Structure 1
Amino acid sequence: MSGIDRKQFLKNSALSAAGLMMGGTIAKASGSTSSAMSASDFDIMEEVNKYRMIDSHAHVYFRDQSPGMQIDFADRLGIEKLVISRPMSRGGDATPEDFRRCNNLVLDCVNQYPDRFIGQMTLNPKYKEESLEEIKRCTDQGMVGLKVYSHVNITDPAFYPIIEKFIDLDMIILMHHGIGRSRIEPAPSELDSVSVATDFAEISKRYPEAMFQLAHLGGGIDWEAACKAVKDCPNVYVDISGSNNDANIIDFALEYVGEDRMFFGCDNSFFQGVGHVLAAKLTERQREKIFFENYNNILKKSGNNVD
């Protein structure tokens, strides 16, 4: 992709999507009478703005555009709160210095937009003592959960002390799920230690008191296999974030996971995140749960819920 980096490409793509989304409303306001524009009186932004929203899977970056760009997209779509993290690169060493730097960025962003951002920390469980110290530092400053990539598989015994600490805190662990064209062909960027849905199922049975968030059903994973694997794991929640637009993701998850264990999230694919929920065959009550209530119920456990 010459001449433009990936983040700018995603931003431009999202802006194009915004134009498509807003087109019907703009045309009506300008008095257009074309058959294409008059075929429906449905105002999608009116529908979007009916719901309170917590984005359960958002990120900030070490870039000049962030966090302003995330707030801008949230404003366009009426997203009230964003749960932000800055995980370390999957390919890096992920030292304590690295995760402290990432967490400091999140803390700075929360301080800049305290009414909009909810902070999550990142860690590397290979560094047990440093990770436990970082949990205390971050929770003392208001962070409410953990987001990790794949430096340690979620079933690895190195993760046990971290999971046990988050049980004590009544906070959720958001874990990256491996991406790829299928369960048996992971993307080249994935580490051998990457977690997949069967790992979530295994650890959820070892720690039924813990809360785990399986990341990005719309992010390029085998979402059918993922939903089936965690069907009988009541402490595993799934977020629907990601840029992939497969038509049946939420409807399938509704059947296997249920309406109370799904979270709205975008993973910075904002229009896709909102569109997934609006396009699914859901009742108004189910949309209210997925957009806001389910995640807010998680926050209530640690006393950090949105009023």
Structure 2
Amino acid sequence: MRIIDVHTHPILREDQRGPAGAAQLIRRARAHGIEHLVALGDVLAFSRMQTVEQVQLINDETAAVMRAHPHFVTGFCYLNPLLGASAVEAEVARGVARGFRGLKLEIANNARDACMAPVMRAAERHGLVVLQHAWSMTNIHQRRFHTDPEDVATLAQRFPRVPIIMAHLTGCGVRGILAVKGCLNVVIDTSGAAPEAGLVEFAVEQLGARRVLYGSDAPVRDFGVALARITGSRLDARTQRMLLHDNASALLRLP
């Protein structure tokens, strides 16, 4: 079965993982039958609030992984929206010139914040996908920079023509699925916390098979465990194929 992984971090300083570690991760991906992956960058390398230069370095590293593994890696451009519209637009232009196919948002700010407008306008202008970190939070004091599923829904409603991947199905849970159910421009990747029986099936039931796609969050999570969320589910073979490959291929315009 063909597999595209839409959520990986080949460069990860926390894991002492530089270019050699990225190559090792890609070998592991191939061993699991993965034929393409999305590299999201070391998005917490310099804490949650990076400077312009640090954002550029993160994306330079992603571009280097793409060059080292052509036709296997697609890069997403990491952004810190709090740096302002000019910095965002300049970094998106750099990413587009390098062949990046999406934008990655982490925890610099909440997705409902006004600073997201330049990000979303740039995504729409360049035809890019936005991958937004999200989690069902219980620490209310972190809401100013952590995005909950309801915040993703707000973002999606404000920018209905921009395709959004809400990250971390098993971090967002049932609450997350229901929060974005009515937002047809939102899909969910299956990365996140430990597997939860029946959750992938519930996502498919509520959203439809075309709005769920496989992601691992490797090396933070293991490829084998992440894949087993889908291959060990009660979903039929055709639906598993959609989640593992076809949905991501269509969204990212991959072969």
CA contact (8 A) 1:96 1:123 kept: no
Matches within 5 A, 1:176-215: 176-178=133-135, 183-185=137-139, 192-215=144-167
| CA distance, structure 2, for counterparts of residue 299 and residue 120 of structure 1 | 11
| CA distance, structure 2, for counterparts of residue 125 and residue 87 of structure 1 | 16
**3-state SS, counterpart of residue 118 of structure 1:** strand
| CA distance, structure 2, for counterparts of residue 257 and residue 98 of structure 1 | 37
Equivalent position of 2:60 in the other structure = 104
1:216/1:202 CA distance change after superposition, 3 Å: same
* Corresponding residue to 1:298 among 246, 251, 255: 251
* Corresponding residue to 2:235 among 262, 265, 282: 282
Max radius of gyration: which structure? 1
Q: How many pairs align?
A: 245
**Structure 2: 5+ residue runs without aligned partners?**
none
| CA distance, structure 2, for counterparts of residue 155 and residue 77 of structure 1 | 37
- 1:66 matched to 2:21? The reply is yes
Q: Normalising by structure 1, report the TM-score.
A: 0.76
**3-state SS, counterpart of residue 47 of structure 2:** coil
**3-state SS, counterpart of residue 34 of structure 2:** coil
Which consecutive segments of 4 or more residues in structure 1 shift more than 6 A?
A: none
> Which residue type is aligned with residue 292 of structure 1?
H
| CA distance, structure 2, for counterparts of residue 133 and residue 245 of structure 1 | 38
- 1:144 matched to 2:110? The reply is no
Q: CA deviation at 1:243?
A: 4.6
| CA distance, structure 2, for counterparts of residue 185 and residue 97 of structure 1 | 31
Q: Normalising by structure 2, report the TM-score.
A: 0.90
CA contact (8 A) 2:6 2:38 kept: yes
* Corresponding residue to 2:111 among 133, 147, 154: 154
> Which residue type is aligned with residue 241 of structure 1?
S
CA RMSD in angstroms, aligned pairs only:
1.7
| CA distance, structure 1, for counterparts of residue 124 and residue 133 of structure 2 | 19
Q: CA deviation at 1:115?
A: 2.2
- 1:235 matched to 2:235? The reply is no
Q: CA deviation at 1:267?
A: 0.5
Equivalent position of 1:22 in the other structure = none
| CA distance, structure 1, for counterparts of residue 60 and residue 238 of structure 2 | 37
1:171/1:110 CA distance change after superposition, 3 Å: same
